[in-house]
Homo-oligomer: A and B are copies of this chain.
Amino acid sequence: MELEKSLVSGSMSLLVLKLLEDGDLYGYQMIAELRRRSDDTFRLKAGTLYPLLHSLEEKGFVTAYEQTAESGKTRRYYHLTKQGRSALQEKETAWNAYARAVGRVLKGGACLAGA
């Protein structure tokens, strides 16, 4: 399922913040999680994610801490802050409004000018 890339614009930060709502995750894990939860639709690239995470950290939406796994690999976990939570809510609301509006435009044309 190959999506038009341009379509995926703007909502990536929303999706990443949403993933962190359920608990702390590290970057590589988010890529897999997002892919799983979207049924393989969103294939977030590392080159997209890491700069995004840094910018979210700068804005105070997430905090980061390192932790070494049993495997020996050092992982950088991200935690959703209170600010991040409210930003998430705003973004969810904005997304819903946007999606509804697109839906109206797409539907409005299909019907027979009824309502």
> Looking across the interface, which residue of chain B has its beta carbon closest to that of A110?
B21
Consensus secondary structure, chain A interface: helix
Q: Within 8 Å of chain B (Cβ to Cβ): is A69? A: no
Q: How many residues of A contact B (CB 8 A)?
A: 38
Contact across chains for A99 and B99 when beta carbons are under 8 A apart: yes
Contacts of A4 in B (CB 8 A): 10, 91, 94
One digit per residue, 1 when the CB lies within 8 angstroms of any chain B CB and 0 when it does not, for chain A 21-60 equals 1100000000000100111011000000000000000000
A90 → chain B closest CB, angstroms: 9
Contact across chains for A18 and B109 when beta carbons are under 8 A apart: yes
> Looking across the interface, which residue of chain B has its beta carbon closest to that of A1?
B97
